[in-house]
Amino acid sequence: MFLHNKRISNQFRIILLILIIGCFVGCGAQKKNLSQIEDNDGIIVGFSQIGAESAWRTCNTRSVQDAAAERGVQLVYDNAEQKQENQIKALRSFIAYQVDVIVFVPIVKDGWDNVLQEARDAGIPVLVTDRKIDVEDQSLYAGFIGTDSLKEGRNAGLFVLDKFKDSCEQFDKTEEHINIVELYGTEGSSVALGRAEGFREVLDPHPEFRILYSKSGDFLRSRGYELAVEFLEMHEDIDVIYSHNDGMTLGAIEAMEEKGLVPGTDIVIITIDAQQAAIDALRDGKVNCVIECNPKTGPEIIQLAERLAAGETIPRLQYVHEEVFYETDDLSLIEPRGY
C-alpha cells in the first residue's frame, strides 16, 4: 500500500525526528522524549493527548501507552498541556516525521480542517479518539472511538427525573422548582456539549426543573471548588449539582463541606467519569449517581491504528461500553477502578 511504497527506513526517520523536534524545541515546543523511538519494525504512531487535567486523562494516556508497548507499536507521545495550538504543532511534527498513523484527542471540536488536510496530503491516516471533531470534509479522518457524551447527559437527566418524581407530582400545588447547578466541562469540547445537550433533552419538557447556574470548570478539580464557592454564595435553594466530571465534583464537595452542607443529602449530586474517588463518594452517600466514561481505550485504539497502518478501513464511529452506578445499587460489586 502507499504507506509501504513511501515508507523510509526507521533509522532515517529517527534522524528526521531528531532534526524536526530539534527545530521545534528552539521555539519553545515541549522537549520530546527521543528515546520513544527505537530502530525496530513496529509501526510508528503519533499520539497527541490533551494534557493531564484529570485522573481520567492520565488513565487514558497510560492505557494507550501500555497497549502500544504490548503490541510493539512505537508511540511518539505529545502532551499538549490543554492548548489546541500545541496539538496542531504536534500533528505537524508527526506529519513531517511521516509517522504511519496519527491518533489524537481533540481538546475542542473545531479548528482541525487545515492540519488534517495536511495529514491527508501526506498520506497519513488519522484516528480521532475520546472527543469528536467538526470538519467540513468528513473524509479528513478515518474514524472515531470514544465516549457517547449525549447518552451520558441523557442518563444524568433520567436519574434526576426519577429522583424527583414525587416533587414533580406536587409541582402544580407547590409551584416549587427543582433547582439545578451545572459544572460544565471545557468550553467547545464535544463531550461538554454532548453532556449538556443530553441532560437538557430529557429535562426541558419538564418545567419543574430549572438550571440556575452553569459555568465551565474546564474539568479541573480546583475550578470545581472555586465555582462551588461562588454558586453556594449566590443560591440558597440548590437541589441538584450536575457535574461534567468527577474532578470538578470532588472540588465542589470540598466547598460544600466547608460550608457545613451534606453532599448527597442537602444537594443531590450526579457526576461523570467513575474514577475511584467518585465511587468511594457514592459508597459514602456523598454522591447519588456516577456515570461511567471509560478511559481504558488503549487496546482498541492501538488495534485500530494497526489496521489503518495496514491500509484497512475502520468503523467510522465506535462507542466504548459504559455503565451507570446508582446509589441504590449493590456498590460492593463495583471492581476497583484503577484511576
Output 98 or 294, the one with its CB closest to ligand GYE.
Answer: 294
Contact 246, 278 (CB under 8 A): yes
Q: Which residues pair with 128 in a beta bridge?
A: 104, 144
Q: Which residue has the cell 491516516?
A: 125
Closest CB to ligand GYE among residues 53, 208? 53
- The nearer residue to ligand GYE, 98 or 216, going by C-beta atoms, is 216
Give min distance, CB of 227 to ligand GYE, in A: 15
Q: Which amino acid is at 255?
A: A
Q: What region does 140 belong to: left with phi over 0, alpha with psi -120 to 50, or beta?
A: alpha
Shortest distance in whole angstroms from residue 220 CB to ligand GYE: 8
C-alpha cell at 112: 482541525
Residue type, 220: L
CA 131 to chain CA centroid, nearest Å: 6
Neighbours of 207 (CB within 10 A): 10
CB nearer ligand GYE, residue 191 or residue 240: 191
Question: Measured from the CB atom, is 167 or 276 closer to ligand GYE?
Answer: 276
In the bound state with ligand GYE, the residue whose beta carbon lies nearer, of 118 and 134, is 134
As to burial, measured by CB atoms within 10 angstroms (0-12 exposed, 13-18 middle, 19+ buried), residue 297 is buried
| Minimal distance, residue 306 CB to ligand GYE, in Å | 23
DSSP H helices in the chain: 2-6, 10-26, 55-71, 84-97, 113-121, 149-163, 165-174, 190-203, 221-234, 246-258, 276-283, 298-309
User: Shortest Cβ distance from residue 189 to ligand GYE (Å)?
Assistant: 7
Closest to ligand GYE by CB, 53 or 182: 53
All three cell numbers of 59, joined, read: 488513565
Q: How far is the CB of 128 from ligand GYE (least distance, A)?
A: 12
Mark 240-259 as b/e (b = at least 16 C-beta within 10 Å). bbbbbbbbbbbbbbbbbeee
Q: Which is nearer to ligand GYE, 78 or 273 (CB)?
A: 273
Supply the minimum distance, in Å, between the C-beta of residue 57 and ligand GYE: 5
In whole angstroms, the minimum distance from the beta carbon of 91 to ligand GYE comes to 18
Residues of this chain that bind ligand GYE (CB under 6 A): 53-54, 56-57, 130-131, 147, 191, 219, 245, 247, 272-273, 293
Distance of alpha carbon 42 from alpha carbon 44, whole angstroms: 6
CB of 237 to ligand GYE, least distance (A): 28
